Amino acid sequence: MESIKFYRSSGEHGYLSNLYKCPVEFEGRVFRSSEDAYQFGKPTDPATAEWLVSAPKPHLCAVAAHALLPWDIRPDWNEIKMARMRAVVMAKFEQNAALRVMLLATGKRCLMEDSPTDKFWGIGKRGDGCNFLGQILMETRKTLRYVRR
């Protein structure tokens, strides 16, 4: 079965990217993208979280969040980041019907974040990364398909 690779927020499957602009209500706040909603939870300081999501574009929010120094990051971030990403991605597709339809239309194909630099969320340069974002998208698709029956 063919897989679907995505990376940028544009193109046929750009909607799978966390950088894709669409409103996501999460924890009582509306964000412009799932990336913003995810990264908002990373800093220890609320002012830093606000600063991150004030970046002009979602990819700049991500870049700034990756540059945070260890003492600016919640001490439990590594323990909670997967659950947060699952919740944010589910919110994105539950709240945006057109995106939900497109996600469900991917059928049972493997979804792969084709990031050349991220071996955790994506497949990395050599294609041997963990692809956790792709896995979460496939879990979300399965859940939404089951819920929609």
Write down the pLDDT at residue 97: 96
Write down the pLDDT at residue 147: 77
Write down the pLDDT at residue 136: 98
Write down the pLDDT at residue 148: 59
Q: Which amino acid is at 114?
A: D
The string of pLDDT tens digits covering residues 84-131 is: 999 999 999 999 999 999 999 999 999 999 999 999 999 999 999 999
22-to-9, 15, 17, 88, 113 alpha-carbon distances in Å: 11, 9, 11, 12, 18
The string of pLDDT tens digits covering residues 25-73 is: 999 999 999 999 999 999 999 999 999 999 999 999 999 999 999 999 9
Domain of 28: which CATH number? Answer: 1.10.357.40
Q: Give how many domains the chain has, as a whole number.
A: 1
86 is in which domain, residue-wise?
Answer: 3-148
Gyration radius of the chain over CA positions: 15
For residue 97, which phi and psi values (nearest 5 degrees)? -55, -40
